[in-house]
Amino acid sequence: MSDIEIARAAKKKSIQEIGTKVGIPTEHLLPYGHDKAKVSQEFINSVQDRPNGKLILVTAVNPTPAGEGKTTTTVGLGDGLNAIGKKAMICIREASLGPNFGMKGGAAGGGYAQIVPMEDMNLHFTGDFHAITSAHSLLSAMLDNHIYWGNEQQIDVRRVAWRRVVDMNDRSLRQITSSLGGVANGYPREDGFDITVASEVMAILCLSNDLKDLQKRLGDMIVAYRRDKTPVYCRDIKADGAMTVLLKDAMQPNLVQTLENNPAFVHGGPFANIAHGCNSVIATKTALKLADYVVTEAGFGADLGAEKFMDIKCRKAGLAPDAVVLVATVRALKMNGGVKKDDLGKESVDAVKKGCANLGRHIENLKQFGVSVVVAINHFVKDTDAEIQAVIDFVATQGSEAILAKHWADGSKGSADLARKVVEVVERGKSNFAPLYPDEMPLFEKIETIAKRIYRADEVIADTKVRGQLKEWEEQGYGHLPVCMAKTQYSFTTDPNRRGAPTGHSLPVREVRLSAGAGFIVVVCGDIMTMPGLPRVPSAESIYLNDDGQIEGLF
Amino acid sequence: MSDIEIARAAKKKSIQEIGTKVGIPTEHLLPYGHDKAKVSQEFINSVQDRPNGKLILVTAVNPTPAGEGKTTTTVGLGDGLNAIGKKAMICIREASLGPNFGMKGGAAGGGYAQIVPMEDMNLHFTGDFHAITSAHSLLSAMLDNHIYWGNEQQIDVRRVAWRRVVDMNDRSLRQITSSLGGVANGYPREDGFDITVASEVMAILCLSNDLKDLQKRLGDMIVAYRRDKTPVYCRDIKADGAMTVLLKDAMQPNLVQTLENNPAFVHGGPFANIAHGCNSVIATKTALKLADYVVTEAGFGADLGAEKFMDIKCRKAGLAPDAVVLVATVRALKMNGGVKKDDLGKESVDAVKKGCANLGRHIENLKQFGVSVVVAINHFVKDTDAEIQAVIDFVATQGSEAILAKHWADGSKGSADLARKVVEVVERGKSNFAPLYPDEMPLFEKIETIAKRIYRADEVIADTKVRGQLKEWEEQGYGHLPVCMAKTQYSFTTDPNRRGAPTGHSLPVREVRLSAGAGFIVVVCGDIMTMPGLPRVPSAESIYLNDDGQIEGLF
């Protein structure tokens, strides 16, 4: 059966029943249909004094076209923990609407480790991203309106830093000239649209502890500069209050369920390159109050996703992971070992062994954060025993353990071993989490620290403009911020073709950007696309409702 | 107490209880929070064989700054009918999000005749308008993507007819140049954004009988022309299926309640100028299966709103109103009689009598549709007995009856008399509805018929380009469509300052547009704004969440 067939055959429980499992009273669940609900702010406030459960981060080796199954493993581990008698919750990101009309949308998970309702999660879901688009668009309109009515803030219209957004893959809006058409329409200027998930509002929503914090951070966003180069903040345009009102419901975590009727929060979805790529802090923190184990994931591979999870999300939210599960597949390791995608069907223990270098480096890296690492081998049916054994043996040499997990085929039965190992590691209690660098380290040194200790680059290359900009921000009081690396996900280097565990490379920094509201410095290393386009034949062309009212072509 | 204070003090029942009142089983209500729900398509299908209830249209004299209270009377009459023992439902339009950030948002109704939850209805509500924005944006992206990848349909990029939309008052997007930035971003062209309620997708959603009909109409939309001037349809771009998927939930009517816990559908909200300005056909038709009386309203005054309700909505949906309630206020009649807004506080029976000319003409006009008319005098506390009596006496001379209605102050107690009169008129059964003109009348004659019989213009002025365009559409098979007049709402003429019952004017037609999917010809008479701007001090500047989490400044 395909993912969508399995998802449609799910025996879902009412969302109220799911809420009851983790002690959320029905009156504090705001339902969206029968299988989705938001958790009320009142309830979240009421559980703040409870102790926290254990936090498990699921991350992965560098992605390859072979697929790693990070979300699948996150879901499988959550189900596995519940199956072995632990009260566990899952926290993952929401999907972006626009890209589903380019290429087929995806499940949240796969096989028998999925979160449902799949269709809704790929479409409007509970409207969070629409609310973010609205809040972002309101600020855009108010900014141009401010200029139109006399520009009291003396914004330099050449230096507007606030681009527009839409939740659609629309390359024709990447670069536009706006306010054409004469006096009534304002002052023409260059502008452009990003996709909604790239909005700083998205990153802020995902990093805010509550609505007050949200409004403060929105106010802190820099929207433009004056001729004297001083920043104009969102607060100066007086948009922060109304934006917060628009985001009021979007800030509440969305409760849904796995195929095995276990509770999951699916909330927030910032870009993993120009933002930190994790689900919302409010969802993770709330889950920690409701469950003994919370399983969450971060975007891309561990070099980007886990590093940002630790250095941005955990640092800012005061979170500390109790264990990290590093997902690898035999197939992905083979590709890291040099096998081409078309040859993945053939057994190649040597290629697995060679590819393990990538896995090994991620294990080493993760240990630098003071966390215990369990490797999950996400099983594919064509994996051979010898290949699997090669991974297990390799991981043992790294002072860690690899567990074969078959949740894709068998649900929680297939992930119970992994769950037991995670519990064992957590109960051993040896995690001693610390971020990679302290707040007070100079910004350029922070970049160097990540480049050398995580990417294993020899040096960071940046011109004087970049270095000068970082200095300027330090002088303006932004020196304490963490850095958010925007780099290819496919390699430790900036060259997507260099798989495995490369050395002898340098990290060229092309550009730095300040996300003053989200609270990080974006370090752009290579081309970063913030507005995707549609392919020649977009998937939208074959999406339709069949005679039974079911959606065809979306998956 | 203000409207918002009354709304907040409402003792709402759960939306399931409201559904039960009209026989909608809980499993067929898709809840959005505890006080809003969508009605499932399965349930709607299941009631199709039931007989229809009676349909009451609420319309009004020409609007003045004094306010008429059309929605308030619609809600009051619905409550009044329920109070006198009739099973009644209310059907009104949804509010647009964007304009609330320019000027303060409004209640749905007022005083003790309101629909709640007011905050939600002024913000995201159930996401219908976001879905419309998404569906519209998808087509925009697919259209430019089609051109980008080789333009197989040979679209003349100078003749793209499909503008973009956003649900925000953003004048700087009215006119833009898109696809700038080189090869990767496409072919630069002129473009622009309208506000979402002006989208043809909105009009289509509100006129479609079901999802199949919706998809067909979406496919029929003309998005561009080729060099040989032949139209390119949405169907040619293959966007109609995916748009329907995006609109699947938005097509389902939204159930909410009045302050007196009576059921109301709030669904759809097309512009009342370039579109027909009525709530959705699916909501009205469903309500007619669930209730004995369905009270609905149309945009603007009776010259525009009621005419379009009859000639577009009823004609296309096969509906027939059983009675029309024409709302007037003493204040509005005084303004129609020449009194300035600042002088409305002073009694002036003469001005009332003079202003009754406007009322009288609307009564005459409405009778041309073969419907019975009841005049509702929506009571304001400063109205004097003599003024009210002047209206009652005047209406009696017109072969109709005027009823004083005090629902604003007293809820259903204040509207019971009006409700009884409406029931009396309906039970008398003299309505014999017919649209003003037959389908087969030539397009220009349709315009003339409305101009002469409703606006009482002597002639229609249109240049050869307009007349030629209409002829061309007739040759292309669009001659059977009704016409949708886009004219000022403040006067029977195109001059907003000519109140009362003017004669001796002509109707200049500036432009005609084909809405091939919605199924009407838009006749533009004067300036029509499809993208509003924000004022110098937008209301958004003072909107915020207070410490109790309540929204301040939105109302």
pLDDT, average across residues A241-256: 98
Distance, in Å, from the CA atom of B221 to the CA atom of B229, rounded to the nearest integer, reads 15
Contact list, B169 vs chain A (CB under 8 Å): 141
CA-closest candidate to residue A339, choices A18, A156, A16, A65: A65
Phi, psi of A456 (to 5 degrees): 60, 40
User: Given CB atoms, is B529 within the 8 Å cutoff of chain A?
Assistant: no
Q: Average of pLDDT values for B191-211?
A: 97
Q: How far apart are CA A114 and CA A408, in angstroms?
A: 9
Domain co-membership, A106 together with A137: no
Number of compact structural domains in chain B = 3
Three-state SS for A102? coil
Helices within A490-548 (DSSP H only): none
Single-letter residue type at B192:
G
Q: Which residues pair with B88 in a beta bridge?
A: B293
Is the pLDDT reported for residue B324 higher than 90?
yes
Pairwise CA distance, residues B254 & B265, whole Å? 5
pLDDT band at residue B333, thresholds of 50, 70 and 90?
Answer: very high
On whether both B90 and B202 belong to a single domain, the answer is no
Average pLDDT value for residue range B477-488: 97
Give the H or E element holding residue A122: helix A118-122
Q: What is the pLDDT of residue B105?
A: 81
B170 close contact with A: CB closer than 8 A: yes
Nearest CA in chain A to B152: A536
Structure-token pair, residue A453: 């200790």
Contact check, Cβ <8 Å, A177/B174: no
Q: What integer is the mean pLDDT of A91-114?
A: 93
pLDDT in tens, B257-303: 999 999 999 999 999 999 999 999 999 999 999 999 999 999 999 99
CB–CB contact B545 A137 (8 Å): no
Q: How far A194 CA lies from chain B's nearest CA (Å)?
A: 13
pLDDT value at position B104? 86
Does A554 contact B at CB distance below 8 Å? Answer: yes
Task: Tell me which DSSP letter residue A306 carries.
Answer: I
Is B141 in CB contact (< 8 Å) with chain A? yes
The domain of A267 spans 3-126+250-425
Residues of A in Cβ contact (< 8 Å) with B173: 178
For residues A304 and A272, the answer to whether their CB atoms sit within 8 Å is yes
Asked if B326 and B471 sit in the same domain, the reply is: no
Q: Can you give the pLDDT at residue B66? A: 75
Q: How far is CA B131 from CA B245, B261, B320, in A?
A: 10, 28, 30
Nearest CA in chain A to B27: A34
A319 pLDDT above the threshold of 80: yes
Choosing from A425, A458, A476, the residue where a domain stops is A425
Peptide bond into A188 cis (omega under 30): no
Same domain, yes or no: B272 and B418: yes
> Is B259 in the same domain as B323?
yes
- Mark whether A61 and A133 lie in a shared domain: no
CA dist A539 → A6, A105, B212, B470 (Å): 21, 9, 20, 37
- With an 8 Å Cβ cutoff, is A239 touching chain B? yes
pLDDT at B67 over 80: no
Asked if B358 contacts B336 with a C-beta cutoff of 8 angstroms, the reply is: yes
CA-nearest of A189, A162, A187, A190 to A175 is A190
Query: Is residue B413 scored above 90 in pLDDT?
Result: yes
Examine the domain organization and report whether B299 and B379 are in the same domain. yes
Edge-to-edge order in the sheet of strand B483-486: B483-486, B520-524, B511-515
Say if A27 is an interface residue toward chain B (CB within 8 Å). Answer: yes
> Which residues of B are documented as binding site for ATP?
64-71
DSSP conformational letter for A188: -
By the 8 A CB rule, do B460 and B447 touch?
yes
Quote the strand ranges of B6-154, DSSP E: 29-31, 37-39, 54-60, 88-92, 108-110, 113-116
The CATH number of the domain holding residue B199 is 3.30.1510.10
Residue B99 lies in a domain: yes
Of residues B505 and B64, more confidently modeled: B505
Cβ–Cβ under 8 Å, residues B347 and B387: yes
Residue B378: enclosing H or E segment and its boundaries?
strand B373-378
Is B33 part of the contact surface with chain A (CB cutoff 8 Å)? Answer: yes
Asked if residue A553 is part of any domain, the answer here is no
Strands A113-116 and A323-328: unpaired
Q: Give the model's pLDDT for residue B450.
A: 98
B5, burial (CB in 10 Å: exposed 0-12, middle 13-18, buried 19+) = exposed
Residue B437 counted as domain residue: no
- Has residue B68 got a pLDDT over 90? no
Q: Which residue of A has its CA nearest to B42?
A: A549
Handedness of CA A282, A285, A289, A292 (dihedral sign): positive
Count the neighbouring beta carbons within 10 Å of the beta carbon of residue A464.
Answer: 8
Q: How confident is the model at residue B41 (pLDDT cuts 50, 70, 90)?
A: very high
The answer to whether the CB of A457 falls within 8 A of the CB of A274 is no
Both tokens of B384, joined, read 């004097």
Does B137 sit within 8 Å of A170, measured CB to CB?
yes
Q: Which of B160, B198, B195, B220 is nearest to B274 (CA)?
A: B198
Does the beta carbon of A225 lie under 8 angstroms from any beta carbon of chain B? no
pLDDT band at A343 (very low <50, low <70, confident <90, very high): very high
pLDDT of residue B1: 87
User: Catalytic residue numbers of A?
Assistant: 70, 72, 93, 104, 272, 300, 380, 408
pLDDT at B325: 98
List, in order, residues 6 or more apart from A389 with CB less than 8 Å away. Answer: none
In this structure, is residue B549 part of a structural domain? no
Q: What is the pLDDT of residue B310?
A: 98
Find chain B residues with C-beta within 8 A of A245's C-beta: 123, 543-545, 551, 554
Contact between residue A88 and residue A55 where contact means Cβ atoms under 8 Å apart: no
Residues B515, B522: Cα–Cα separation, whole Å:
7
In 3D space, the residue among B86, B25, B515 whose CA is nearest the CA of residue B308 turns out to be B515
Per 3-state DSSP, chain A is made up of helix, strand and coil in percentages (nearest 5) of: 40, 20, 40
List the single best residue of B44, B173, B208, B212 to mutate versus A (max A Cβ within 10 A): B173
Between the alpha carbon of residue B135 and those of residues A95, A97, A101, the distances in Å are: 17, 11, 11
Report the alpha-carbon distance of residue B406 to residue A162 in Å, rounded. 50
DSSP H or E run through B165: strand B164-166
**What is the least distance, in Å, from the CA of A180 to any CA of chain B?**
5
To the nearest 10 degrees (0 to 180), the angle between helices B200-207 and B240-247 is 70
Candidates B97, B124, B176; nearest CB to A249: B124
pTM exceeds 0.90: yes
**Alpha-helix runs per DSSP H in A221-320:** 240-247, 281-290, 307-308, 315-317
How high is the pLDDT of residue A488? 95
> B427-469: per-residue pLDDT in tens?
998 889 999 999 999 999 999 999 999 999 999 999 999 999 9
For residue B37 the two structure tokens come to: 């729900």
The torsion region of residue A16 among left (phi > 0), alpha (psi -120 to 50) and beta comes to alpha
Type of residue numbered B505: H
**Contact assessment for residue B534 and residue A145, using Cβ atoms and an 8 Å cutoff:** yes
The answer to whether B194 touches B176, Cβ cutoff 8 Å, is no
Residue from A145, A201, A547 whose CB has the most chain B CBs within 10 Å, to mutate: A145
**CATH number for A255:** 3.40.50.300
CB-CB: which of B180, B185, B549 is closest to A41? Answer: B549
B130 interaction partners in chain A (CB closer than 8 Å)? 124, 127, 130, 133-134
Say which of A123, A141, A211 has its CB closest to residue B170.
A141
In a domain, A551, yes or no: no
Residue whose pair of structure tokens reads 């919302």 in the numeric block? A280
How far is residue B524 from each of residues A365, B447, B449, measured CA to CA in Å? 67, 11, 16
Q: How many residues does chain B have?
A: 555
Is residue B120, in this structure, part of any structural domain at all?
A: yes
Residues of B in contact with A28 (CB under 8 A): none
Cα dist. B178→A188, A198, B181, B183 in Å?
Answer: 13, 20, 9, 13
- Residue A495: helix, strand or coil by DSSP? coil
**In the predicted model, what is the mean pLDDT of chain B?**
96
- Looking at the complex, does the CB of residue B142 fall below 8 Å from at least one CB of chain A? yes
Residue B401 lies in a domain: yes
Q: Is the pLDDT of residue A430 over 90?
A: no
Taking the Cβ of residue A184 and every Cβ of chain B, the question of whether any pair is shorter than 8 Å is answered with yes
> Are A295 and A287 contacting, i.e. CB atoms less than 8 angstroms apart?
no
Task: Please judge whether A124 and B138 are an interchain contact, meaning their C-beta atoms are less than 8 angstroms apart.
Answer: no
Q: What 3-state DSSP class applies to A296?
A: strand
Check CB contact of A132 with chain B, cutoff 8 Å.
Answer: no
Out of B130, B245, B543, whose CB is closest to A241? B543
Give yes or no for residue A66 having a pLDDT over 80.
no
Asked if B208 and B104 sit in the same domain, the reply is: no
Q: Which two tokens stand for residue A542?
A: 């074959």
CA distance B113 to B68: 14
CA A321/CA B52 separation, integer angstroms: 61
Q: Is A65 assigned to a binding site?
A: yes
* B187 plus B166 within the same structural domain: yes
Full 3-state SS string of B2-24: CHHHHHHCCCCCCHHHHHHHCCC
Phi, psi of B508 (to 5 degrees): -85, 125
Asked which of A194, A209, A244 is the last residue of a domain, the reply is A244
Residue type, B247: L
The verdict on residue B179 lying in a domain is yes
CA Rg value for chain A: 23
Cβ atoms within 10 A of the Cβ of B409, count? 13
Out of B124, B130, B138, name the one closest to residue A168 (CB).
B138
Mean pLDDT (chain A) is 96
Question: Which residues of chain A are within 8 Å of residue B176 when distances are taken between CB atoms?
Answer: 176-180, 191
Helices of type H across B368-411: 385-397, 407-410
Arithmetic mean of pLDDT, B103-108:
85
Does residue B133 sit in the same domain as residue B122? no
Nearest-CA residue of chain A relative to B544? A241
Report whether A488 belongs to an annotated binding site. no
- pLDDT tens-digit map of A139-192: 999 999 999 999 999 999 999 999 999 999 999 999 999 999 999 999 999 999
Distance CA A272, CA B254 (A): 36
B238: nearest CB among A166, A215, A541: A541
Residues contacting A251, CB < 8 A, separation 6+: A41, A205, A208, A210, A211, A214, A280, A282
Interface test mutation site (partner A, options B138, B194, B208, max chain A beta carbons within 10 A)? B138
**Whether residue A117 has a cis bond before it, omega within 30° of 0:** yes
CB-nearest to A172 from B124, B127, B186 is B186
**Residues B169 and B198 placed together within one structural domain of the fold:** yes
List all residues of chain A from 50 to 109 with a beta carbon under 8 Å from chain B: 97-98, 101
- Say yes or no: ipTM exceeds 0.90: yes
Q: Is the dihedral of CA B167, B170, B176, B181 positive or negative?
A: negative
Residues A117, A135 within the same domain: no
3-class SS of residue B365 = helix
- In angstroms, the separation between the Cα of residue B239 and the nearest Cα of chain A is 6
pLDDT at residue number A37: 98
Q: Which two tokens stand for residue A490?
A: 């496919």
How long a stretch of residues is chain A? 555
Does A527 have pLDDT greater than 90?
Answer: no
Residues on chain A touching B543 (C-beta within 8 angstroms): 241-242, 245
- Quick one: CA torsion of B244, B245, B246, B250, rounded to 10 degrees? 70
Q: Which two tokens stand for residue A63?
A: 């992605």
